[in-house]
Structure 1
Amino acid sequence: MDLGKLFSDPEQLFAVGSMGLIALLLIGWLALFVCAVVSIIGSPLSFGMTLVWLVIAFAAPFLGVLAWFVIGRGDAYRRRATC
């Protein structure tokens, strides 16, 4: 690949840049998903609730992971503190 040609053609530069951005976003999402699964498994929830959160995370990967970090994680550690 001739880099001089790549940087002289704005359409090719845009295509390569957008593919790179998409790749970075996917890698970031995958890292967040793995962190959520590890966090769910390591949480002090009962086996049943852990299983429910894992099903939610795998059934709706984006929303399930967000729900875990926004709602589930804090609730899990609050429940442990009160028990």
Structure 2
Amino acid sequence: MHSVVQQAALAADIGLYQVGLIVATLAVLGYVALVIGALISVLGSHQGAGMKLVWIVFVFIAPFLGSLLWFFIGRRSTRYPYRTA
């Protein structure tokens, strides 16, 4: 039979495990949402087919970094398209 202290420690360990599992699940879901959001955004952008392909490959090769760079750098370049004379 476990003592009260051992039972309390076991309950605390289980509680920390559950909190960690919830945090890890939310982190993975956020990561997946970021990558899918970046891919959808790239495909819906006004970039040319070649640049879309480059961004998609970059997102697949380096999902976290590629997605962040798309949202901070790539999307900006599509807001103000280059003008040709």
Q: How many residues end up aligned between the 2 structures?
A: 77
Q: 2:20 aligns with which of 18, 21, 26?
A: 18
TM-score w.r.t. length of structure 2: 0.82
Instruction: Report the AA paired with residue 50 of structure 1.
Output: K
Deviation, structure 1 residue 24: 0.6
Structure with the higher helix share, 1 or 2: 1
- Equivalents in 2 of 1:12, 1:34: separation in Å? 33
Which runs of structure 2 are paired with 1:1-83 in the superposition (5 Å)? 9-79=11-81, 82=83
- Equivalents in 1 of 2:26, 2:77: separation in Å? 31
> Given that residues 43 and 77 in structure 1 are in contact (C-alpha distance below 8 angstroms), is that contact kept between their aligned partners in structure 2?
no
Deviation, structure 1 residue 77: 1.8
* Poorly superposed stretches of 4+, deviation over 3 Å: none
Gaps of 5+ in 1: none
Deviation, structure 1 residue 17: 0.6
TM-score w.r.t. length of structure 1: 0.83
- Equivalents in 2 of 1:78, 1:58: separation in Å? 26
